[in-house]
C-alpha cells in the first residue's frame, strides 16, 4: 500500500517520461489556442493509456486502477486538459461498458475506445440535473419493436465535441426520478444526435466541452446498457471510478504547483536571501507537501479498494474531495509564492490556478462528495 511495485513504477516512469518530454512543452500554446490534442491522444492510445483497465481480449491494456491513477497524475502534471480527456475515455466511457455491457457491446465498443480510434464521453448532466442527477428530464420512449427514442439536452459534457461514442442517460418516467433512469450507448452518427454549444472554459482549455442535443434520436434495442430502469446505478457506480480519476488529475496539478514553487523559492531573493529561507514561505511549502501526500494516499487507497470489487463510494469521494481541494490550495499558494509574476500568463502557475478550479466542480462538487461521505459514515 505504501510503496509501489516495480510494475507500477514502470508505468509511472513511462507516463512521466512521455508527459514531460512530449505533452508539457505544448501546454502553454494549447492553453491559448484551445486546440484539442488529437496527436497526443493517439500516442497515449498507442502506449495503452486510453484503455488501461480494459482486458486484452477487448483490445485494452488490462492494468489495475492504481496504474491508471499513476499514469493520469503524470499526464495531468504536464497538462491537466490532456489529463481529463484520458480520464473520461477510461473511467467514464469505457468503464460502464466493461462493468454493465453485454458481450456484444463490449466486443463492439471497447476495442475502438482502447485503440483511441474512437473517443468516448459520458452524458449525464442536464440544464436542470447537475448535482441532482436523479432529476433526469431527457425522455426515453420504448418503441413497439424494442428500440428507443430519446429526446433532451445534455450539457457540460467533456469530450463531446470529439466523441464518437457516448454513454448517456434518459428517463422513462421522470416523475419517478432515479427509478425511471435508463442508460444507453449512443453513437455520433445516429439520426437526431447533435453536438450543441461548445463551451469556452476558464481552464483545461484543450479539452472539448459541449452540449449534446438528442432530437427524437433513434437508439437500437441492443444499445440499452444494463437493465431498463437500472441506469442510475450505472451512472453512480461509474462516477465512483471517475472520481478517482479526477483525484489523480488534481494530484498532478498540485504536485506541479509545489515543484514550481520550490524551484522559484530557491532562486528568487528578497531581503538579501532566497525566499525559501523565509519561514513564511517554508510553511506554505510544508502545508502543500503534506496535503499532497495525504491526497495521494487517499487516492491510492480508493484505487486499490475499487479494484478489489468492493463498493468504495465514500472512499472515492474522500479522495476526490481532498485531492481537488488540495489542487486549489496548492495552486493558490503557488501564485502567492510567485507574487506578481504568478498573476502573469507567462508563468505556469497562473494556468495551474485556472486548471485547478474545475476539479472541485465536475464529477460532483465538493458539497456532493461530502453528502456521499456522510452517507457512508452515518449509514
Contacting residues toward ligand CAA, per CB under 6 A? 88, 122, 124-125, 131-134, 156-158, 178, 232-233, 236-237, 239-240, 311, 313, 362-364, 368, 371-372
Q: Taking the C-alpha atoms of 232, 240, 12 and 72 in order, what is their torsion angle to the nearest 10 degrees?
A: 60
Residue nearer to ligand CAA on the CB measure, 12 or 320 = 320
Whether the CB-CB separation of 131 and 365 falls below 8 Å is answered with yes
281 vs 358 by CB, closer to ligand CAA = 358
Identify whether 175 is a catalytic site residue: no
CB of residue 41 to ligand CAA, shortest distance in Å:
16
C-alpha to C-alpha distance for 75 and 97, rounded to whole angstroms: 24
Cβ atoms of residues 320 and 246 within 8 Å:
yes
User: Among 256, 284, 322, 318, which residue's Cα sits nearest to residue 74?
Assistant: 256
Choose the catalytic residue: 333, 348, 350, 363.
363
Q: How far is the CB of 11 from ligand CAA (least distance, A)?
A: 23
| CB closer to ligand CAA out of 67 and 158 | 158
Cβ 211 to ligand CAA, closest distance in Å? 12
- Kindly state the smallest distance separating residue 121's Cβ from ligand CAA, in Å: 7
**Sign of the Cα pseudo-torsion (159, 162, 166, 169, in order):** positive
Q: Give residue for cell 512530449.
A: 22
- Helices then strands, counting H and E runs in the chain, come out as 12, 10
Question: Cα 110 to chain center, whole Å?
Answer: 18
Long-range contacts (CB closer than 8 Å, 24 or more residues apart) made by 40-44: 40/82, 41/82, 41/85, 41/86, 41/116, 41/119, 42/116, 43/18, 44/18, 44/75, 44/82, 44/86, 44/116
User: Which is nearer to ligand CAA, 51 or 161 (by Cβ)?
Assistant: 161
Q: Which CB sits closer to ligand CAA, 89 or 326?
A: 89
CB of 283 to ligand CAA, least distance (A): 34
> Mind telling me the catalytic residues?
363
Amino acid at each position: 500500500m505504501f510503496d509501489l511495485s516495480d510494475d507500477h513504477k514502470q508505468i509511472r516512469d513511462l507516463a512521466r517520461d512521455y508527459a514531460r518530454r512530449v505533452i508539457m512543452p505544448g501546454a502553454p500554446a494549447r492553453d491559448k489556442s484551445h486546440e484539442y490534442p488529437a496527436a497526443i491522444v493517439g500516442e497515449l492510445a498507442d502506449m495503452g493509456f486510453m484503455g488501461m483497465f480494459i482486458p486484452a481480449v477487448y483490445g485494452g491494456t488490462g492494468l489495475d486502477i492504481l496504474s491508471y491513477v499513476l499514469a493520469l497524475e503524470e499526464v495531468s502534471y504536464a497538462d491537466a486538459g490532456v489529463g481529463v480527456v484520458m480520464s473520461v475515455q477510461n473511467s467514464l466511457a469505457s468503464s460502464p461498458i466493461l462493468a454493465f455491457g453485454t458481450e456484444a457491446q463490449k466486443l463492439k465498443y471497447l476495442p475502438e475506445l482502447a485503440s483511441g480510434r474512437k473517443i468516448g464521453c459520458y452524458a449525464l448532466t442536464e440544464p436542470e440535473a447537475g448535482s441532482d442527477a436523479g432529476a433526469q428530464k431527457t425522455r426515453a420512449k420504448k418503441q413497439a419493436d424494442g428500440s428507443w427514442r430519446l429526446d433532451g439536452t445534455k450539457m457540460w459534457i467533456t469530450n463531446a465535441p470529439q466523441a464518437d461514442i457516448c454513454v448517456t442517460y434518459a428517463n422513462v418516467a421522470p416523475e419517478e426520478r432515479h427509478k425511471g433512469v435508463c442508460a444507453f450507448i449512443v453513437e455520433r452518427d445516429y439520426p437526431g444526435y447533435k453536438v450543441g454549444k461548445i463551451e469556452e472554459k476558464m481552464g483545461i482549455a484543450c479539452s472539448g466541452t459541449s452540449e449534446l442535443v438528442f432530437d427524437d434520436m433513434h437508439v437500437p434495442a441492443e444499445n440499452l446498457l444494463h437493465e431498463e430502469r437500472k441506469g442510475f446505478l450505472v451512472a453512480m457506480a461509474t462516477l465512483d471510478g471517475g472520481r478517482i480519476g479526477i483525484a489523480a488529475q488534481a494530484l498532478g496539478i498540485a504536485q506541479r504547483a509545489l515543484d514550481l514553487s520550490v524551484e522559484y523559492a530557491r532562486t528568487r531573493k528578497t531581503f538579501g536571501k532566497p525566499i525559501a529561507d523565509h519561514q513564511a514561505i517554508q510553511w506554505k511549502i510544508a502545508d502543500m507537501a503534506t496535503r499532497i501526500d495525504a491526497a495521494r494516499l487517499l487516492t491510492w487507497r480508493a484505487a486499490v479498494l475499487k479494484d478489489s470489487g468492493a463498493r468504495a463510494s465514500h472512499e472515492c469521494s474522500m479522495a476526490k474531495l481532498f485531492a481537488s481541494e488540495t489542487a486549489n490550495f496548492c495552486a493558490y499558494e503557488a501564485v502567492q509564492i510567485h507574487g506578481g509574476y504568478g498573476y502573469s500568463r507567462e508563468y505556469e502557475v497562473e494556468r495551474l490556478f485556472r486548471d485547478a478550479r474545475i476539479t472541485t466542480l465536475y464529477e460532483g462538487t465538493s458539497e456532493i462528495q461530502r453528502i456521499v461521505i456522510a452517507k457512508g459514515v452515518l449509514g
